[in-house]
């Protein structure tokens, strides 16, 4: 990526709250991930953990389940890693938040993906109460602290195209001002990765698997710049994951190995 292109993405991310990195994931990986996820959904083994909401299947052990080991490839895409390292001044940190979702046919609600209660994060009082149980950060997430600002991002990999329907919508600029109402629904091609600020309000769009003859599959990863904001979020994400998985959170040894090799702290 040229310096000019990088600066355009960074500006868009800072101002609108999201940017799209085109064609990060090779077609052969998309095919292999889809096959794996389809298989894990359709052929469960007795010790598998799964959560069903509507027709969506989630895997609470996430990438730490050895059966999903192949998904550690997510941390190896050079173009994505170069972008994230530039964005975080080479202080990139994995936040232990990795969602594997298969199937989704209902319209989601507007929400952010912040995994801790921060001062100023008052969009939804009910969510604020839930977040307080995860992690309470005394910092205001709109202000700088110790020369650092809130820099936590979600990386969204869609394993099918969404041209005009079934993807994700954002309330542009709502990461800095929750009263922003302008909605954008970007077209996505399988293999693109959307990077968004976790404070940005977003919602999943309805996708009829039967009509499309294809299950809606997504892989959402999360990382940030090493600083106090990120640490509170990180602890909240671990707590959430252990609640979902009904047990202690363990980072799989192989996941940590791949993270380390690719300059992600954990
Ligand atoms: O599936 C999507 O497009 C969005 C999902 C989402 O927002 C979430 O899991 O937090
Ligand atoms: Fe979300």
Question: Has residue 11 been placed in a domain?
Answer: no
- Of the listed ligands, the closest to the CA of 217 is 1
Residue nearest to atom 10 of ligand 1 (CA): 113
Question: Has residue 10 been placed in a domain?
Answer: no
Strand order in the sheet with 202-204: 183-184, 168-171, 202-204
pLDDT, tens digit (0-9, with 9 covering 90-100), for 224-251: 999 999 999 999 999 999 998 888 999 9
DSSP class of residue 249? -
Positive or negative: CA dihedral 72, 89, 9, 229: positive
Containing domain of residue 28, as a range?
Answer: 21-36+62-254
Residues with CB under 5 A from ligand 2 (ion): 113
- For the ranges 118-127, 130-139, 194-203, the lowest mean pLDDT is seen at 118-127
Question: Has residue 122 been placed in a domain?
Answer: yes
- For the ranges 7-21, 48-62, 167-181, 182-196, the lowest mean pLDDT is seen at 48-62
What local confidence, expressed as pLDDT, does residue 76 receive? 98
Q: How confident is the model at residue 210 (pLDDT cuts 50, 70, 90)?
A: confident
Q: What are phi and psi of 118, to 5 degrees?
A: -115, 145
Residue nearest to atom 2 of ligand 1 (CA): 204
Question: Has residue 125 been placed in a domain?
Answer: yes
Q: How confident is the model at residue 80 (pLDDT cuts 50, 70, 90)?
A: very high
What local confidence, expressed as pLDDT, does residue 125 receive? 87
Positive or negative: CA dihedral 136, 141, 145, 149: positive
The CA 175 to ligand 2 mean position distance, Å, reads 13
Residue nearest to atom 4 of ligand 1 (CA): 204
What local confidence, expressed as pLDDT, does residue 40 receive? 93
What local confidence, expressed as pLDDT, does residue 171 receive? 98
The CA 203 to ligand 2 mean position distance, Å, reads 7
Question: Has residue 13 been placed in a domain?
Answer: no
Nearest Cα to 48, choosing from 66, 30, 74? 66
CATH number for the domain including 214? Answer: 2.60.120.620
Which whole number is the average pLDDT over 31-49? 92
Q: How far apart are CA 101 and CA 108, in angstroms?
A: 13
Closest ligand 1 atom to residue 218 Cα is 1
* Terminal C-alpha separation, the chain: 26
Q: How confident is the model at residue 96 (pLDDT cuts 50, 70, 90)?
A: very high
- For the ranges 37-46, 67-76, 172-181, the lowest mean pLDDT is seen at 37-46
Residue nearest to atom 6 of ligand 1 (CA): 204
Question: Has residue 46 been placed in a domain?
Answer: no
The CA 55 to ligand 1 mean position distance, Å, reads 14
Between the alpha carbon of residue 121 and those of residues 38, 136, 175, 179, 243, the distances in Å are 36, 11, 10, 12, 22
Closest ligand 1 atom to residue 104 Cα is 1
pLDDT at 188 > cutoff 80: yes
Average pLDDT, the chain: 95
Task: Quote the pTM value.
Answer: 0.96
Which range, 37-51, 183-197, 232-246, is most confident? 183-197
Which whole number is the average pLDDT over 141-166? 96
E strand segments, the chain: 18-21, 51-53, 56-58, 92-102, 117-119, 136-140, 152-158, 168-171, 183-184, 193-197, 202-204, 217-225
The CA 146 to ligand 1 mean position distance, Å, reads 32
Which whole number is the average pLDDT over 202-212? 92
Q: How confident is the model at residue 218 (pLDDT cuts 50, 70, 90)?
A: very high
pLDDT at 208 > cutoff 80: yes
Q: How far apart are CA 190 and CA 188, in angstroms?
A: 7
The CA 179 to ligand 2 mean position distance, Å, reads 18
pLDDT at 122 > cutoff 80: no
Q: Which residues line ligand 1 (CB under 6 A)?
A: 99, 101, 104, 113, 168, 202, 204, 218, 220
The count of structural domains within the chain is 1
Question: Has residue 164 been placed in a domain?
Answer: yes
Closest ligand 1 atom to residue 168 Cα is 3
Question: Has residue 55 been placed in a domain?
Answer: no
Positive or negative: CA dihedral 38, 157, 121, 240: positive
The CA 45 to ligand 1 mean position distance, Å, reads 26
DSSP class of residue 100? E
The CA 153 to ligand 2 mean position distance, Å, reads 11
């Amino acid at each position: 990526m040229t310096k000019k292109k990088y600066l355009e993405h960074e500006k868009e991310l800072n101002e609108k709250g999201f940017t799209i990195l085109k064609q990060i994931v090779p077609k052969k990986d998309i095919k292999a991930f889809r096959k794996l996820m389809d298989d894990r959904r359709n052929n469960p083994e007795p010790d598998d953990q799964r959560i069903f909401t509507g027709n969506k299947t989630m895997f609470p052990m996430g990438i730490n389940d050895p059966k999903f080991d192949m998904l550690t490839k997510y941390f190896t895409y050079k173009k994505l890693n170069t972008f994230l390292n530039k964005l975080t001044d080479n202080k990139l940190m994995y936040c232990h938040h990795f969602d594997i979702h298969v199937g989704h046919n209902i319209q989601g609600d507007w929400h952010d993906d912040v995994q801790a209660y921060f001062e100023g994060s008052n969009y939804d009082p009910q969510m604020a109460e839930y977040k307080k149980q995860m992690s309470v950060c005394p910092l205001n997430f709109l202000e700088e602290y110790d020369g650092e600002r809130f820099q936590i991002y979600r990386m969204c990999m869609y394993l099918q195209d969404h041209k005009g329907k079934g993807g994700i919508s954002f309330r542009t600029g709502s990461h800095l001002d929750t009263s922003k109402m302008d909605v954008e629904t970007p077209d996505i091609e399988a293999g693109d990765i959307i990077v968004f600020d976790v404070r940005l309000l977003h919602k999943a769009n309805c996708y009829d698997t039967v009509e499309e003859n294809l299950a809606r599959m997504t892989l959402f990863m999360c990382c940030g710049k090493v600083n106090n904001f990120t640490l509170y979020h990180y602890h909240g994400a671990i707590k959430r994951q252990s609640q979902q998985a009904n047990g202690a959170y363990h980072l799989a040894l192989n996941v940590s190995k791949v993270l380390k090799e690719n300059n992600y702290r954990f």
